[in-house]
Structure 1
Amino acid sequence: MSIPDHASANFRTMLRAAENDDLALLECSDAITGQPRYVICTVSFDGEEYLFTPFGHLADGNPYEAYVPPDAPTRADE
């Protein structure tokens, strides 16, 4: 399974933002559950206001339990 172009482009954007100290961690609410989420955002300034672009949120709990490699069995397979 290969990583889609849009995901690679977003990752490169996030790396550039990190190099320029233009990353922020914001507390937001999940749109469906309302639970707090800690969201990684890039930060830009349009001359009048700061713009925050969300790229993803930090995993709750143990991330080693939340993710598996692409072809590994999942809990859904049990």
Structure 2
Amino acid sequence: MVRLRMLKITRPKEKKAKLHWLQDPSEINRDNLNNIRRETSRHFRNKKREYLKDKIDELAMNNKNKNIRDLYRGINDI
């Protein structure tokens, strides 16, 4: 859900910046587009890292509690 909300925010900004850059390929417009892309990539990289950390913690708890079925189910999901 958060990812969809973030896409709705970043995609229009990225499209607008790309249109500005295509109409006027100046260095400022190029830098603006690159900054928006970098910001979006950083956000999703952090979200992915957070998700994987939570998943690993969940697997560790399954292992600690001897919940083998859920442990292997979680490993196969990754």
Same fold (TM over 0.5): no
- By percentage of residues, which structure has more strand? 1
TM-score relative to the length of structure 1: 0.30
TM-score relative to the length of structure 2: 0.30
- By percentage of residues, which structure has more helix? 2
Which protein shows a greater Rg?
A: 2
